[in-house]
Amino acid sequence: MMPVIAFDHLRKSYGGTEVIREFDAEVPDQEFLVLLGPSGCGKSTMLRMIAGLTEVSGGELRFDGEVVNAKSPKERNVAFVFQSYALYPQMTVRANIAFRC
Average pLDDT of the segment spanning 87-93: 81
State pTM to two decimals.
Answer: 0.79
Average pLDDT of the segment spanning 73-85: 79
Cβ-proximal residues to 53 (8 Å cutoff; 6+ apart), any chain: 73
| Homologous superfamily (CATH) for 5-100 | P-loop containing nucleotide triphosphate hydrolases (3.40.50.300)
- Report pLDDT for 14: 94
Per-residue pLDDT tens over the stretch 21-74: 999 999 999 898 888 888 888 999 999 999 999 999 999 999 999 999 999 999
66 φ, ψ (degrees, to nearest 5): -95, 125
Per-residue pLDDT tens over the stretch 59-71: 999 999 999 999 9
- Report pLDDT for 83: 66
Widest Cα–Cα separation across the chain: 44
Q: Is residue 87 predicted with pLDDT exceeding 90? A: no
Distance of CA 21 to the CA centre of its chain: 13
56 φ, ψ (degrees, to nearest 5): -80, 135
Q: Is residue 89 predicted with pLDDT exceeding 90? A: no
Q: Where are the domains of the chain?
A: 5-100
